[in-house]
Amino acid sequence: MAVYVYKFGGTSIGSVERIQAVAEKVKLTHDQGDQVVVVVSAMSGETNRLTDLATQIQNKPVSREMDVLLSTGEQVTVALLSMALNELGCPACSYTGSQVRIETDSTHTKARIKRIDDAKIHADLNAGKVVVVAGFQGVDEHGNITTLGRGGSDTTAVALAAVLKADECHIYTDVDGVYTTDPRVEPKARRLDKITFEEMLEMSSLGSKILQIRSVEFAGKYNVALRVLSSFSEGRGTLITYEEPAVEQALISGIAFNKDEAKLTITGVPDIPGAASKILGPVADANIEVDMIIQNIADDATTDFTFTVHRNDFEAAKSILTGACKELGARAVTTDNSIVKISIVGVGMRSHAGIACKMFKALADEMINIKMISTSEIKISVVVEEKYLELAVRTLHAAFELDQELPEVAG
Amino acid sequence: MAVYVYKFGGTSIGSVERIQAVAEKVKLTHDQGDQVVVVVSAMSGETNRLTDLATQIQNKPVSREMDVLLSTGEQVTVALLSMALNELGCPACSYTGSQVRIETDSTHTKARIKRIDDAKIHADLNAGKVVVVAGFQGVDEHGNITTLGRGGSDTTAVALAAVLKADECHIYTDVDGVYTTDPRVEPKARRLDKITFEEMLEMSSLGSKILQIRSVEFAGKYNVALRVLSSFSEGRGTLITYEEPAVEQALISGIAFNKDEAKLTITGVPDIPGAASKILGPVADANIEVDMIIQNIADDATTDFTFTVHRNDFEAAKSILTGACKELGARAVTTDNSIVKISIVGVGMRSHAGIACKMFKALADEMINIKMISTSEIKISVVVEEKYLELAVRTLHAAFELDQELPEVAG
């Protein structure tokens, strides 16, 4: 007997028919004698409907009340899914985050899970029931309803899998796994059977928005075997593991990219301690998320400092930087808001210095100019002009032979 | 400083604009330095929307899950109303039934309140906040979400008023008080300034569906001063008190009526012990609610037994009665499904034997034939042909001078 945690997102349970289909899928596992905990999000559209009601009343709704409001979305789906399971003759019981209970800190709208009481879940599972848990929500020590922020249902699923020591945590979504890159850009993109947590983290943050980053971190930390599958089709999806890759594993697992980036450079910054924080401090204060940060080695007594932000934050960041430029006595601010970031990701690249070289050469062969470079242990990112996005992704996909099926390797 | 519990139903908070209007009304009281607890229902239409989703999945949805589902309706409104109050600069905090906590028994979909923990409410009120509580819902001792059944928000309001020893419990609705009869039938109907709990109980159960019966019982039991007011207009509404009427009080307070009644008679029932239960047992088993029950004194060795049911249950009741007739060896079943029940209600009638006589004579003067009569201490009900409804109500309204304004009497 295995223990599974299944998570279904909004589109997977967006209608009565979809909820019934999910119930059928869950029942199959239950009928095999396995234990299943199902975590569900709000029906697609519901969170937006509720948010819209709230913002008609308050521009910035009180965050405590926002959590009370939004948490009703999952509460509706757990009830409906539990009904659908019971209707199929599969005994089931629903729980809200407060009921489980999933205790979080008190940071409304983006709370963090502190502990989970699994007593009720164990009792129900042992009584032969499917347990349906509302994702995305919890309760603080004072009994206030909290939510974990967008994508928090993934985190709920992984946290429950960790506590229950589940054999696998299945994240059902509208894609059938993790691909070597976005199939809409490179039709030859191939589904990966396995990917490591570290690679998945880099892929997630770089634009392959299949799983919420926090849930992947969580899964890695607690050794939860995550599997990404489609709720609309059959197939085994992609297993996200914490295993080291076998030697035959490809050096590169995939290619991620971020559209909608903008780049800002401040040149001639006096090379004194604290300059970087004086530049980034006001940016952070304005709640602008910074992606890449690059500072070259100082030349004379000055240095150049570049960072990228989402294009929505471009104007705000530019105006802040112009102020900082004056204050620091720097030379000038130059910007570019038509760039994209492309990254190759792979645990296998760790000891292979030749990978970067191969990447840069492949791009150069297509006359694609590289504007910025940044690397981590398992990732190399370049910033190029927006118009080269598709060409660059396809070029790299071919250069690293990602369309080639690999021989199945024992784990 | 006074303590008030205000209750607003679905139409009173059916839109963002209505919620904002309610917030304004509540703020006025708060600004006067009084303490206010607001109980709200789900937005109008929401309970039907959720019920519809559920019945698409299960003909008879699991009642535990139905409660999880339906309780989201009020959870949405408490959050939105709390936001609206905060937006007006009036500090407010929302609570679900589980959070308060309002503990009930485990009878899902029609639970009864067992106890209320008012610690959080008192703390918030003393901190100068308005407390917004979800009506209609509670939690059982195992942490399961329960609901109190249709109209349960009234019960929540009255129960909170009792626990908090509130000065008054205001039930805001779409009518501006309790009338001597339905103004749609008799335009001369007059709003009552006061009515006793006992009269209100009779008025409620007889068709003036302003308040849920259980909440009126509750209010009487715990001496909660209830006031029915309109949330759409100004005015003092009708106060429902437990005071005895002053001597000058009118004998009759109002005229209630039930449309959609049907009458079933079984004649020639052997006059033996247990006959009545053999007739009504199967009717009750079929969940058919019986209203009036009349059995005349036995004539020879047989008796006639008559009862009334809602017209929706007429065919089912008829078929059950036909079976019972054979089994009991009774003579025949006769039925009439085009009747109405009309009742005069008044605490003042207790010691006045002439009231019934006056009622019957007024009807006879209009050639309205009385088919059944039933009385209680403060009520006399008659069943007449459906076509006489309006005429009978107006005739009685005039006969008992209910359109006459009474001199204000000290309580």
pLDDT digits (tens, 9 = 90+) for B82-124: 999 999 999 999 999 999 999 999 999 989 999 999 999 999 9
More confident residue, B23 or A307: B23
CA distances from A357 to A351, A354, A362, A394, B133 (A): 13, 5, 9, 17, 64
User: Rounded to an integer, what distance in angstroms lies between the CA atom of residue B72 and that of residue B55?
Assistant: 17
Task: With a cut of 90, say whether residue A14 has pLDDT above it.
Answer: yes
Task: With a cut of 80, say whether residue A25 has pLDDT above it.
Answer: yes
Residues of B in contact with A143 (CB under 8 A): 99, 120
pLDDT computed for residue A202 by the predictor: 80
A54/B93 Cβ within 8 A = no
| pLDDT tens-place string over residues B148-207 | 987 799 999 999 999 999 999 999 988 888 888 888 888 998 888 888 888 887 876 544
User: Rounded to an integer, what distance in angstroms lies between the CA atom of residue A303 and that of residue B289?
Assistant: 86
Share of chain A above pLDDT 90, in %: 54
B83/A61 Cβ within 8 A = yes
pLDDT computed for residue B3 by the predictor: 97
B61/A99 Cβ within 8 A = no
Task: Identify the structural domains of chain B with CATH numbers, from first to last.
Answer: 3-173 (3.40.1160.10), 254-399 (3.30.2130.10)
More confident residue, B284 or B34: B34
pLDDT computed for residue B41 by the predictor: 95
Residue B210 has a CB neighbour count (10 Å cut-off) of 19
Share of chain A above pLDDT 70, in %: 93
pLDDT computed for residue A297 by the predictor: 67
User: Rounded to an integer, what distance in angstroms lies between the CA atom of residue B328 and that of residue B320?
Assistant: 12
Which segment of A329-333, A346-350, B12-16, B131-135 scores lowest on mean pLDDT? Answer: A346-350
Highest-confidence range of A248-252, B286-290, B397-401, B403-407, by mean pLDDT? B397-401
| pTM listed for this prediction | 0.79
Contact status of A76 with chain B (Cβ, < 8 Å):
yes
| pLDDT tens-place string over residues B385-409 | 999 999 999 999 999 988 886 554 4
For the residues A112-138, what does the mean pLDDT come to? Answer: 96
Mean pLDDT of all residues in chain A?
Answer: 88
Place of tokens 């009474």: B406
- Is A348 within 8 Å of A245 (Cβ atoms)? yes
Contact status of B71 with chain A (Cβ, < 8 Å):
yes
Task: With a cut of 70, say whether residue A205 has pLDDT above it.
Answer: no
Extended beta strands in A67-188, E state? 92-95, 102-104, 113-116, 130-134, 137-139, 145-147, 168-173
Q: Is A123 helix (H, G, I), strand (E, B) or coil?
A: helix
- Please report which confidence band the pLDDT of residue A244 belongs to, taking 50, 70 and 90 as the band edges: low
Q: Which of B16, B83, B145 sits opposite A62 (nearest CB)?
A: B83
More confident residue, B110 or A141: A141
3-state SS of chain B is CCEEEEEECCHHHCCHHHHHHHHHHHHHHHHCCCEEEEEECCCCCHHHHHHHHHHHHCCCCCHHHHHHHHHHHHHHHHHHHHHHHHHCCCCEEEECHHHHCEEECCCCCCCCEEEECCHHHHHHHHCCCEEEEECCEEECCCCCEEECCCCHHHHHHHHHHHHHCCCEEEEEECCCCCECCCCCCCCCCCECCEEEHHHHHHHHHCCCCCCCHHHHHHHHHCCCCEEEEECCCCCCCEEEECCCCCCCCCCCCEEEEEEEEEEEEEEEEECCCCHHHHHHHHHHHCCCCEEEEEECCCECCEEEEEEEEEHHHHHHHHHHHHHHHHHHCCCEEEEEEEEEEEEEECHHHCCCCHHHHHHHHHHHHCCCCCCEEEEECCEEEEEEEHHHHHHHHHHHHHHCCCCCCCCCCCC
Q: Which of A15, A22, A53 to mutate to test the interface with B (most CBs of B within 10 A)?
A: A53
Contact status of B99 with chain A (Cβ, < 8 Å):
yes
pLDDT computed for residue B204 by the predictor: 64
| pLDDT tens-place string over residues A96-109 | 999 999 999 999 99
Bridge-based pairing of strands A3-8 and A102-104 is unpaired
Which segment of A332-341, B66-75, B244-253 scores lowest on mean pLDDT? Answer: B244-253
Task: With a cut of 60, say whether residue A249 has pLDDT above it.
Answer: no
pLDDT computed for residue B378 by the predictor: 82
Phi-psi map region of B409: left, alpha, beta (phi>0 left; psi -120 to 50 alpha): beta
Contact status of A146 with chain B (Cβ, < 8 Å):
no
Contact status of B47 with chain A (Cβ, < 8 Å):
no
- Check if the interface score ipTM surpasses 0.85: no
Task: With a cut of 50, say whether residue B410 has pLDDT above it.
Answer: no
Q: Which of A16, A59, A68 to mutate to test the interface with B (most CBs of B within 10 A)?
A: A68
Mean pLDDT of all residues in chain B?
Answer: 88
More confident residue, B248 or A338: A338
Task: With a cut of 60, say whether residue A407 has pLDDT above it.
Answer: no
What is the distance between the terminal CA atoms of chain A, rounded to a whole angstrom? 22
